[in-house]
Amino acid sequence: MIEELKRKSLLDQIERHSLENSLIQTQNNYLRSQINPHFLFNTLNFIYNDARKKAPIAADAIMNLSEMMRYALKRSEALDVVPITDEVAQIEHLIQLHKLRTKNSVNLEFLVEGDLMGVRFPPLILLTLVENMFKHGNTLHPTQPALINLKRNQNILEIKFCNLIGATQQDNNNNHKVGVINTKSRLENIYKSHCTFNCFIDQLKNTYTTEISVDLDFTPKK
C-alpha cells in the first residue's frame, strides 16, 4: 500500500512537471507568434541605416538592441541550454546599451575567468540578472563599480553579480523579488540539486550580491 502511494505521488509529480513545462513553452510560442520577426528586423535595419550618419550613437543602440532581440526570439525555449559564450556576447550588448543610454556613466567590471568553451547554460537567465542589476541596483557610482564575474573552476561554474544597493533592492521591491524567485525556480528545475542560487545584502558595504554555482558534470535534460 505504501509503495503504491509513493509510486502514485511520483507519477503525480512527473505529470505536474510536464504540465508546467508545456505551459511555459506554450506561453513562449504565443509571445513569439505576436511579432513577425522578418518585419521587425527589416524595420530595425532600415532605422539603423538611416541613423548611422545622422545619429551614430542611436545607430549603435539600435544595432545592440537588434542583436539582443534576435537572440531572445531564437533562445526562449524553457529547458534549452546554449553555449555560455553566446550569453556572454549578449551581456556585452546589454552593457553597451546601458552605457549609451547613460552617456557612458555606467561603472561596471565584466570578468570572464577560465575556459568557458563547451560550457552550456540556460538562455536568458544571465541577461535577466544583468538587467535586474541595471534596473534595481546602483551601477553609476564613479568609484565603486558593479561586478559581473563568470568563472570556471575545474568542473564548477561560478557566477557572481555584485552592485551597490539601489532603492528597489533596499525596499525589497516585489517586482525584484518575483524576478529572483523565478530565476531560482528555473535553475532548480533544470539542474535539480546540482546548482546553488543565493542572494544577500551586505549592510556594511551597502552591496547586493547574487551568486550561482553549477556542477558542470551534470547534463541537463529537456
**Confidence (pLDDT) at 73:** 77
When divided into structural domains, the chain yields a total of: 2
Percent of the chain with pLDDT over 70: 75
Residue range 35-42: average pLDDT?
67
Handedness of CA 173, 178, 183, 185 (dihedral sign): positive
- pLDDT tens track for 126-145: 999 999 999 999 999 999 99
pTM confidence score? 0.74
Q: Same domain, yes or no, for 89 and 139?
A: yes
Q: Same domain, yes or no, for 97 and 152?
A: yes
Q: What is the CATH number of the domain that holds 180?
A: 3.30.565.10
- Beta pairing, strands 108-113 & 82-83: unpaired
Q: Is residue 47 part of a domain?
A: no
Q: Same domain, yes or no, for 189 and 113?
A: yes
Dihedral class, residue 118 (left if φ above 0, else alpha if ψ from -120 to 50, else beta)? left
What residues make up the domain containing 14? 1-34
- pLDDT tens track for 142-165: 999 999 999 999 999 999 999 999
